[in-house]
Amino acid sequence: MGVTVLVGTQWGDEGKGKITDLITGEYDVVCRYQGGANAGHTVIANGHRFGLHQVPSGVMYEGVVPVIGNGCIVDPQILVEELDMLAREGIPTDLLKISGNAHLVMPYHKDLDGANERRLGKNLIGTTRRGVGPTYADKASRLGLRVQDLQDEKVFREKLETALAEKNPILELVYGLPTYTVDQITELYRPYAKRLQPYIVESSRYLNDAIDAGKSVLFEGAQATMLDIDHGTYPFVTSSNCTAGGAITGSGVGPVAIDRVLGIAKAYLTRVGSGPFLTELPQGDPIGEMLCEVGHEYGVTTGRKRRCGWYDAVVVNYAARVNGLTDLAITKLDVLGCLDEIKICVAYEADGVRYETVPEHQSIFYRAKPVYMTVPGWKCDISGCRSFFELPREAKDYIDLIEQLSGVRVSLVAVGPDRDETIDRHWR
Ligand code: IMP
């Protein structure tokens, strides 16, 4: 399978987990390259359903090596809890590798994430409050602690002291929150350091050696293109590069190693948190409610109800460009099965100008209106279809239209939540 990057093309929750689950077993190594415990992936083991946030989903597949790359951030408390949970379920985790260069989420990052959101009031980002923004901010400010610092308590304490000299006054004087001592956090993190020690590696070297040895690698993106800090709807984004370029910097593997970039797009559109969403259906709209209920559109990490709307081809076309997509997987096509007709946004219009790509200026993006094409629905259950030719004509036309508007071939189509409820057109 070579080296593949898997990315979300919309605002996250495209069903990346389902596609990852479908293809992971074909890879030797699965590496997460950005984000932290803000991502959520539901897995089912021994009849139990649970969410994984830090451990890459590759852990669920025997023989697959899960890697947490240097571009990720690690909340050791959540990671250790997940490792304990996997151990209780009898799922081995001994192959896991964690980059020593990944940054650590500290207790004050979580406090500051919540405090920032409260300060923003109605302008809040709607973060997952997992400390993501403050951790990446400290990484950029060179005030962060890294996973490798867990291996040397002296260095850990020194760096922590420097960080607390800035954090404590902010916590206390700006937000009126409790402060921390070096001893307090060192005590808290010491057991995590001991527990995580066996997993810490130089992951760039590990990955490059694996590729040189002919192993296949799947880079698993979290969040999505429109939540990317550079290419998304800033400031309503996460704090890392979710796009395919992030797989390079977030892993230490060179760009020519990448063979394919698979974009995941939901057959309609959802978003959690704040920020523009041009094709959003208004609260209470019966079609929006239907998409939410039939599509189970509630967040894995926060349980929040997702905002729902029509498929936006402008966004996916943009994602094709900024990620260099070679293939698309369309998910949840079955959810549209009860609609008489389906709208698809083919362009935007603002101030009399038509935009077929995401307008560069945020103000235009905010006031633009979607231009819709209306196509007939198929009005039937398609979850039993296993080949493209079995799909009703209207569903095939819908996929063809998506392909035409994105300029990327649709290689996979998901028609239900189970692994086998998928149509493979060109992937394998
Ligand atoms: P943060 O990543 O927690 O800082 O949140 C920033 C924005 O990204 C918010 O709008 C979140 O709702 C969104 N976000 C973060 N992680 C995910 C995800 O896994 N799926 C969808 N949205 C996410």
Would you kindly state where each structural domain of the chain is located, as residue ranges? 3-101+202-260, 103-196, 267-424
DSSP-H helix ranges across 121-267:
132-140, 153-169, 182-196, 203-212, 244-249
In this predicted structure, the answer to whether residue 144 has a pLDDT above a threshold of 90 is yes
As its CATH architecture, domain 267-424 has Alpha-Beta Complex (3.90)
Alpha-carbon 101 to chain mean position: 20
**Domain 103-196 in the same topology as domain 3-101+202-260:** no
In this predicted structure, the answer to whether residue 370 has a pLDDT above a threshold of 80 is yes
Tell me the CATH number for domain 103-196: 1.10.300.10
Does the CB atom of residue 128 touch ligand 1 within 6 A?
Answer: yes
The residue written with tokens 């409610």 in the block is 289
User: How many whole angstroms separate alpha carbon 374 and alpha carbon 372?
Assistant: 6
Does the CB atom of residue 238 touch ligand 1 within 6 A?
Answer: yes
Dihedral angle sign, alpha carbons of residues 204, 205, 211, 217: negative
Ligand 1 center from residue 82 Cα (angstroms): 20
> What is residue 261's three-state secondary structure?
strand
Q: What percent of the chain stands above pLDDT 90? A: 90
Burial of 6 (0-12, 13-18, 19+ CB in 10 A): buried
Ligand 1 center from residue 236 Cα (angstroms): 9
The answer to whether 32 and 82 are in contact (CB under 8 A) is no
What's the rounded mean pLDDT across residues 390-406?
A: 98
Q: How confident is the model at residue 346 (pLDDT cuts 50, 70, 90)?
A: very high
Q: Whose CA is nearest to atom 22 of ligand 1?
A: 12
User: How many whole angstroms separate alpha carbon 419 and alpha carbon 416?
Assistant: 8
| pLDDT tens-digit map of 323-339 | 999 999 999 999 999 89
| pLDDT at position 51 | 82
| pLDDT at position 300 | 76
| pLDDT at position 40 | 83
Which tokens go with 19?
């596609």
Does the CB atom of residue 58 touch ligand 1 within 6 A?
Answer: no
User: How many whole angstroms separate alpha carbon 285 and alpha carbon 308?
Assistant: 10
Q: How confident is the model at residue 418 (pLDDT cuts 50, 70, 90)?
A: confident
| pLDDT at position 203 | 96
361 is annotated as an active-site residue: no
Per the residue annotation, which of 21, 41, 103, 149 is the catalytic one?
Answer: 41
Dihedral angle computed from the Cα positions of residues 42, 43, 48 and 54, in that order, rounded to the nearest 10 degrees? -80
Q: How confident is the model at residue 34 (pLDDT cuts 50, 70, 90)?
A: very high
Q: At what angle do helices 182-196 and 76-88 cross, to 10 degrees?
A: 40
Considering only the top CATH level, what class is 3-101+202-260?
alpha beta
